[in-house]
Homo-oligomer: A and B are copies of this chain.
Amino acid sequence: MFFSVNRLVLIDEINKCNRIIDPKIPTPSLSGILLEVEADKISLVSSNSSVSIKTVIDMGKSDLQIKETGNILIRGKYFLEILKRMDDDIINISSVENNLVSLSGEKSEFSLNILDFSDYPSIGFREKGDTVTVNNIDLKKSLNQTIVSVNEWNQKIVLAGLNFSLDNSMFYITGTDGFRVSRKRTNVLNEIPEKFETNIPHKSILELIKLLPEKGECKIVSIDSHVTFIINNTIFQTTILEGQFPNVNAVFPTDFNTTLYMDNKKFFKLISRADIPSEDNASTVVNLILNNDSIFIKSNIHQIGSFEEVFKEFELKGLDEQNICFNSKYLIDSLKTFETKNIEINLIDSKKPIVISSSEDMNLSQIILPMFSN
């Protein structure tokens, strides 16, 4: 095996593979990255128990020159550290003996021990099945806006990730921990398939967010117990969460007694002030009292102190009296997901969930259950 390649291009692809490697995995070969050097491209593969990545460097902008094909299994961490320390634009990589790879630039030469590639398990990447194609930027934004409501350690396994599903020929991404729901309708570029319903684990979502570039499209392929994301030259495959995701549409209220219209940033800062820090980072209960033309925000944490502020910069539709309590953290998380200037808070009464939305982004809804105050 012998090739030369642009050092920065190789660093980028190794970075993608390295991120998912679990150094404590019981199968030693899975602590490595498999480099398959073919006549016209190099594939890099890495995997852990839940996700796998395959990424390809082809003859495009990579300065790739392949002199001899072959496979090697490298220890990604050290390989990456060495690549970062070199300062050549183009580097040569060749297998020297059975268990050594040489990385050389103009003046310096590294020899690194490698693993035995014949130990590496064969990983099947599934590229065909029910498919939804979305813009990378839309997907990235939607994942960030919905993952806030997911508890990675939720005891109900199916809730420990995001649900991707179709409803009335529209594609929704939904997260919930049982106390709040984040829901986003995402634009689909291809013809909507007949069915598409899957639940992606929290950890896989975080990796996917890191992997998604700003530009281009992503093909999401659901088949059997796997989902594959095909993003430019990279395939990201994840296992799914088994189980039936709850029908969140049923809990979304539609008729509201009161709607408050306000500036997102101002209300966010107000709730952040009310979110009194506490010894054990517990969240604060925030009491919102609407009375005519004023909102009173009150909070208090035992042994630390209390907070009170009057807020008048809002417009109102409907009933001008409400008294409702929230977990401050849930409110803060929800407000953060809106990149819009204004938001709307829709209320029924002190016992019904509120819905936060914005006329500037109709596809996003955040729903929060109230708390009972004493």
Contacts and interface: CB of A to CB of B under 8 A. Distances in A.
Interface stretch (A149-157, A234-242, A299-307, A348-356): A299-307
Contact of A308 (B100, B108, B276, B308): B108
Contacts of A311: 107
A81 to B, nearest CB: 4
Nearest to A81: B277
Nearest to A300: B111
Given A81-B277, A87-B269, A277-B81, A111 B309 contact: no
Given A113-B303, A113-B304, A107 B77 contact: no
Interface string A67-88: 0000000000110011001110
A78 B305 contact: yes
Interface string A276-319: 11000000000000000000000000011111111100000000
A107 B87 CA distance: 57
A109 interface: yes
Given A85-B273, A86-B273, A273-B85, A110 B305 contact: yes
A112 interface: yes
Nearest to A87: B269
A169 interface: no
A262 to B, nearest CB: 15
Nearest to A109: B308
A244 interface: no
A263 to B, nearest CB: 14
Contacts of A112: 304-305
Nearest to A79: B305
Contacts of A233: none
A272 interface: yes
B109 A307 contact: yes
Most buried by B among A272, A305, A307: A305
A269 to B, nearest CB: 7
Nearest to A100: B305
Contact of A78 (B81, B86, B277): B277
A311 B78 CA distance: 23
B273 A78 contact: no
Interface in A235-265: none
Nearest to A272: B85
Contacts of A100: 305
Interface string A107-128: 1111111000000000000000
A100 B303 CA distance: 11
A309 B108 contact: yes
A108 B304 contact: no
Contacts of A113: 303-305
Most buried by B among A81, A110, A308: A110
A309 to B, nearest CB: 4
Given A86-B273, A269-B87, A273-B86, A305 B77 contact: no
Interface of A: 77-78, 81-82, 85-87, 100, 107-113, 269, 272-273, 275-277, 303-311
23 contacts: A77-B277, A78-B276, A78-B304, A81-B277, A82-B276, A82-B277, A82-B305, A85-B273, A85-B275, A87-B269, A107-B309, A107-B311, A108-B308, A108-B309, A109-B307, A110-B306, A111-B305, A111-B306, A111-B307, A112-B304, A112-B305, A113-B303, A113-B304
Minimum-distance CB pairs A-B, first 4:
A112-B305, A108-B309, A81-B277, A85-B273
